[in-house]
């Protein structure tokens, strides 16, 4: 029989134990070992049974146990100390509170930042994530908390979270979506002063209203607001808008993203009103899913003053919103971007659903694929995100390059290198992902306080001293971590086989699966085709020989989930499981279902090598290898994402990438892709056999692999500071948040006069630009060959139409040229106005171009819009270049 109603019966804590409730509701416990240990000591058996979840622990621990603890002076002292520690952590100044102003003008840091993401991986006990995007968002909030950055997180509350994974007897992925009860989670309902739940409403077509309540999770110092549509006032269909991550059809996804963006801004305003939290000056859109937040902020500004708005026109409001918005793209391929039918979007911003002062055609223009080759019938969420943000970034150096090429069409006339998308390489939250044994290893050399600072801030100076850790100490910890993984893998494998229908009598072999003294390789991630889960199976005989080598055996632990609708990914899992089921190798290779944060905390530290073999350059960053490196695990990876910029030859191995270019190389069904996979798989086998395993088993007279340990130590010392989320968040603050806040203040001053002025200037420049021309350019003394160190005196004449010299910048762009005279490694020099207008209205510009390199060299000139409030000269996408038939001096020197 099924219950007709479900509710939670909470334990009433004795007065002496009330601080446990506060500790449980602040998710700092998920990265604070001392607090987790306190909860474990309440009742170790219940703690394990509830998945190390403090809220569930307090709901299920026997009352007699609580009564005994309330009389235990030692426990109460620990509880009091940790409660005081939490309060000090929440209230005391941290890095942000003492950080100096940023930039030449010394602009103060933002009073607050709103961070929007469709998913958050904070802890396994709050399953609101599916993969790397959510884990990154969770690490961003946790690092911001540790640094004292005043961030407000915004997301959706998914009643079913992401799916739980199991396998059937044939190794086919099975999904189940357990219902999450908020009363059993570390969240609380945001309420008005009178105690009623706060409510956010969105107008929908047909006169419907989508309503949502707001759950608040406290992530250390950072509030995380999660919108929940499962409330009684909604229709059954609308209650399901926030049912699960990345589920449903196109309209379902659109409603999720409207609720996240539009509803999220309204939730932030409500939270600030109720709590007195500073209003955000910067809005950070983590991927395009939350892009509609910019539309809502425009609506706020165009609304009449009587409704709290500023009564700006749409163009001025757009400039004000752009100035304070940061957009981060995580996808390296167009197929990874959310795109909706244009008519579907139009319907949700027209008629009954129209937003006052925000015409539907202006919304549609924000997401239009207006570039050559774009689809005019689709609305592109990434395009909207970029148009609504004055600052944008990719998540690794290589991904920044890929993003500039992918979105080049939004800035016509500019080379990809000048597209205004920068990069900030992702990082991981060390206190979450580093094993306590590794922390103790470092603390033994540099002290506990400095070790805590080192893994929090990402300051390389604080890591000084880690290089003195001895070989024996490192190897002892590495073996301990490997042993912990072996035990956890056996436990999970037994559960998995039980789910697949095996009886206990069939599972005796599980007790000998894996070996704590064997080289252990880990591979765990989502299972789209480009991550190539089964590349290791390319030559199965070769893989078997590596696994079963009598002198230098290898063992592999694999995990990962395929999207429920991705049958290709499910087939890859089934192929891997079928190989791992073979009795001849099943003690050396295992697939562990239900990959999540709880599993990852054993997997990353316990592996000796972390394998990553995506199709380059389709891995935007790939932070799993960072988490492994923090624990002294060496990376074995294609040079993609973060590994492309930080691999140095001593911290792991680079898998060679097969030659080839163009779409054929990335098409899994093309002959070139077959050849590519064969070559790269062979390179992988060779590396494992001749370099990785050879070094791991190369032991000295004391039984230690000293050269291997040297690589582990080098990894900890050099990669440790780089891969930290603390370093990443500091980069965001200094490179993006602070400049965005400064720009926002400039435009908002004196009733948004700056926004109005900038919008009017842009409109004037766009209207006048067709008349802007480079009329003539010459270089005095220019010859076919020039001497190194000499200079060319350039003179350029330009027509500006109705514009003034203050509206533009005239530049010479120079650099190395190829056979078709294309300029690379370009340098830009601004020329100075030297006269005009002449009788024909032309202005003259001059400058000296120094020739500081040998070989084929060339230059061109161009005119760009210029304004002190632009973040980039490419911002408007306007440029005037010399006409090819102008008869100007040759701009190529050889």
860-873 pLDDT tens trace: 999 999 999 999 99
pLDDT of residue 886: 42
Q: How far is CA 296 from CA 262, 268, 473, 553, in A?
A: 5, 12, 56, 58
Residues 6 or more apart whose CB falls under 8 angstroms from that of 25 comprise 55, 186, 188, 218
d(CA 450, CA 448): 6
**Nearest CA to 137 among 421, 439, 432?**
432
**pLDDT higher than 70, residue 726:** yes
Q: What is the helix (H) or strand (E) element at residue 479, kind and residue range?
A: helix 471-499
d(CA 169, CA 658): 37
**pLDDT higher than 90, residue 789:** no
Confirm if 396 and 645 have CB atoms less than 8 A apart.
yes
Per-residue confidence band for 734, with pLDDT thresholds at 50, 70 and 90: very high
Confirm if 243 and 230 have CB atoms less than 8 A apart.
yes
**pLDDT higher than 80, residue 487:** yes
The answer to which of 167-171, 172-176, 335-339, 478-482 has the lowest mean pLDDT is 335-339
Per-residue confidence band for 810, with pLDDT thresholds at 50, 70 and 90: very high
273-288 pLDDT tens trace: 999 999 999 999 999 9
Per-residue confidence band for 5, with pLDDT thresholds at 50, 70 and 90: low
Section 97-112 average pLDDT: 84
**pLDDT higher than 80, residue 537:** yes
The answer to which of 288-302, 454-468, 535-549 has the lowest mean pLDDT is 454-468
The answer to which of 103-107, 273-277, 637-641 has the lowest mean pLDDT is 103-107
Q: Give the distance, in angstroms, between the CA of residue 443 and the centroid of all CA atoms in the same chain.
A: 29
**Nearest CA to 828 among 885, 873, 776, 894?**
873
Residue, of 519 and 669, whose pLDDT is higher: 519
pLDDT of residue 679: 94
Section 723-732 average pLDDT: 96
Confirm if 569 and 529 have CB atoms less than 8 A apart.
yes
d(CA 890, CA 445): 64
Q: 3-class DSSP state for residue 71?
A: coil
130-155 pLDDT tens trace: 988 999 999 999 999 999 999 999 99
Q: What is the helix (H) or strand (E) element at residue 859, kind and residue range?
A: strand 857-865
pLDDT of residue 892: 42
Confirm if 437 and 406 have CB atoms less than 8 A apart.
no
pLDDT of residue 885: 39
Section 697-720 average pLDDT: 96
pLDDT of residue 891: 43
**Nearest CA to 627 among 724, 730, 711?**
724
**pLDDT higher than 50, residue 397:** yes
pLDDT of residue 463: 82
pLDDT of residue 784: 62
Residue, of 76 and 445, whose pLDDT is higher: 76
303-324 pLDDT tens trace: 876 566 678 999 999 999 999 9
Structure tokens that stand for 616 in this block:
């380059």
Section 740-764 average pLDDT: 94
pLDDT of residue 308: 66
Confirm if 139 and 27 have CB atoms less than 8 A apart.
no
pLDDT of residue 336: 85
**pLDDT higher than 90, residue 665:** no
**Nearest CA to 337 among 379, 296, 295?**
379
Half-sphere exposure of 526 (CA within 13 A, CB side): 18
**pLDDT higher than 90, residue 586:** yes
d(CA 870, CA 259): 31
pLDDT of residue 77: 97
Residues 6 or more apart whose CB falls under 8 angstroms from that of 129 comprise 119, 120, 121, 122, 135, 137, 138, 161, 162, 245, 597
**pLDDT higher than 70, residue 659:** no
**pLDDT higher than 70, residue 664:** no
375 burial (CB, 10 Å; 0-12 / 13-18 / 19+) is: exposed
pLDDT of residue 887: 40
Confirm if 850 and 791 have CB atoms less than 8 A apart.
yes
pLDDT of residue 309: 63
pLDDT of residue 494: 96
Per-residue confidence band for 888, with pLDDT thresholds at 50, 70 and 90: very low
pLDDT of residue 7: 62
173-221 pLDDT tens trace: 999 999 999 999 999 999 999 999 999 999 999 999 999 999 999 999 9
567-579 pLDDT tens trace: 999 999 999 999 9
pLDDT of residue 465: 85
Section 819-848 average pLDDT: 87
The CB density around residue 460, as the number of other CB atoms within 10 Å, is 15
**pLDDT higher than 90, residue 658:** no
Q: Average per-residue pLDDT in the chain?
A: 92
């Amino acid at each position: 029989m099924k219950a007709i109603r479900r509710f939670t019966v909470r334990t009433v804590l004795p007065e002496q134990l009330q601080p446990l409730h506060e500790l449980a509701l602040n998710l700092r416990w998920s990265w604070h070992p001392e607090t987790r240990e306190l909860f474990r000591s309440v009742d170790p058996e219940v703690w394990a049974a509830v998945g190390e979840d403090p809220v569930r622990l307090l709901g299920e621990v026997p009352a007699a146990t609580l009564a005994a603890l309330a009389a235990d002076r030692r426990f109460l002292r620990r509880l009091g100390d940790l409660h005081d520690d939490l309060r000090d952590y929440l209230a005391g100044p941290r890095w942000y509170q003492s950080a100096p102003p940023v930039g030449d003008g010394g602009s103060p840091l933002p009073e607050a930042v709103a961070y929007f993401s469709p998913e958050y991986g904070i802890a396994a006990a709050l399953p609101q994530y599916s993969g790397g995007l959510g884990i990154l968002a969770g690490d961003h909030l946790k690092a911001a908390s540790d640094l004292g950055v005043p961030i407000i997180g915004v997301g959706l509350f998914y009643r079913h979270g992401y799916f739980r994974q199991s396998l059937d007897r044939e190794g086919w992925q099975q999904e189940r979506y357990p219902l999450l009860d908020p009363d059993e989670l570390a969240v609380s309902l945001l309420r008005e002063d009178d105690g009623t739940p706060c409510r956010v409403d969105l107008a929908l077509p047909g006169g419907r209203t989508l309503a949502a309540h707001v759950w608040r999770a406290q992530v250390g110092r950072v509030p995380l607001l999660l919108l929940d549509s499962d409330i009684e006032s909604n229709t059954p269909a609308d209650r399901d808008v926030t049912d699960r991550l990345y589920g449903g059809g196109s309209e379902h996804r659109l409603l999720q993203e409207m609720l996240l963006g539009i509803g999220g801004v309204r939730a932030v305003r409500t939270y600030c009103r109720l709590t007195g939290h500073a209003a955000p000056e910067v809005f950070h859109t983590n991927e395009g899913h939350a892009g509609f937040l910019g539309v809502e902020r425009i609506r706020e500004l165009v609304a009449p003053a009587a409704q709290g708005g500023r009564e700006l026109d749409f163009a001025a409001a757009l400039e004000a919103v752009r100035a304070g918005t940061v957009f981060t793209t995580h996808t390296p391929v167009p197929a990874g971007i959310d795109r909706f039918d244009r008519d579907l979007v139009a319907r949700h911003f027209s008629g009954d659903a129209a937003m006052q002062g925000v015409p539907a055609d202006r919304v549609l223009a924000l997401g239009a694929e207006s570039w050559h080759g774009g689809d005019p019938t689709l609305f592109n969420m990434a395009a909207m995100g970029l148009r609504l943000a004055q600052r944008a970034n990719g998540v690794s150096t290589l991904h920044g390059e890929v993003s500039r090429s992918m979105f080049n069409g939004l800035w016509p006339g500019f080379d990809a290198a000048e597209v205004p998308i920068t990069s900030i390489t992702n990082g991981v939250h060390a206190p979450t992902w580093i094993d306590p044994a590794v922390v103790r290893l470092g603390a033994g050399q540099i002290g506990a306080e400095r070790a805590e600072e080192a893994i929090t801030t990402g300051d390389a100076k604080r890591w000084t001293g880690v290089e003195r850790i001895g070989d024996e100490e490192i190897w002892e910890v590495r073996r301990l971590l490997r042993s912990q993984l072996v035990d956890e893998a056996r436990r999970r494998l037994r559960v998995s086989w039980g789910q697949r229908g095996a009886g206990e009598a069939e599972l005796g072999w599980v007790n000998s699966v894996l070996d704590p003294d064997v080289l252990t390789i880990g591979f765990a991630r989502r299972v789209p085709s480009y991550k190539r889960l089964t590349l290791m199976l390319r030559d199965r005989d070769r893989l078997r020989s590596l696994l079963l080598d009598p002198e230098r055996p290898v063992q592999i632990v694999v995990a990962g989930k395929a999207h429920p609708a991705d049958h290709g990914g499910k087939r890859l899992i089934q192929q891997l499981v079928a190989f791992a089921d073979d009795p001849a190798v099943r003690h050396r290779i295992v697939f562990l279902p239900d990959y999540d944060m709880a599993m990852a905390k054993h997997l990353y530290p316990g592996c000796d090598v972390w394998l990553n073999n995506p199709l380059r350059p389709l891995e935007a960053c790939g932070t799993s290898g960072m988490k492994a490196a923090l624990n002294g695990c060496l990376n074995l990876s294609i040079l993609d994402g973060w590994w492309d910029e930080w691999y140095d030859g001593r911290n792991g191995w680079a898998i060679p990438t097969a030659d080839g270019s163009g779409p054929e190389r990335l098409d899994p069904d093309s002959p070139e892709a077959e050849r590519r996979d064969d070559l790269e798989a062979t390179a992988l086998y060779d590396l494992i056999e001749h370099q990785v395993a050879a070094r791991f088993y190369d032991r000295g007279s004391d039984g230690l692999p000293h050269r291997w340990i040297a690589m582990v130590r080098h990894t900890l010392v050099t990669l440790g500071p780089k891969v930290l989320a603390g370093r990443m968040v500091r980069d965001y603050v200094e490179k993006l948040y602070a400049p965005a806040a400064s720009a926002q203040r400039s435009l908002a001053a004196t009733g948004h006069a700056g926004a109005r002025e900038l919008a009017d200037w842009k409109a004037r420049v766009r209207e006048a630009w067709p008349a802007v021309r480079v009329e003539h350019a010459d270089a005095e003394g220019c010859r076919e060959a020039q001497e190194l160190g000499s200079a060319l005196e350039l003179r350029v004449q330009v027509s500006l139409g109705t514009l003034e010299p203050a509206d533009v910048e005239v530049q010479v762009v120079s650099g190395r040229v190829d056979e078709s005279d294309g300029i690379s490694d370009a340098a830009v020099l601004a020329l100075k106005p030297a006269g005009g207008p002449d009788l024909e209205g032309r202005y003259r510009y001059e400058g000296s171009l120094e020739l500081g390199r040998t070989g084929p060299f060339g230059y061109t000139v161009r005119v760009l819009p210029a304004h002190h409030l632009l973040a980039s000269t490419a911002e408007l996408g306007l440029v005037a270049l010399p006409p090819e038939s102008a008869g100007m001096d040759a701009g190529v020197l050889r």
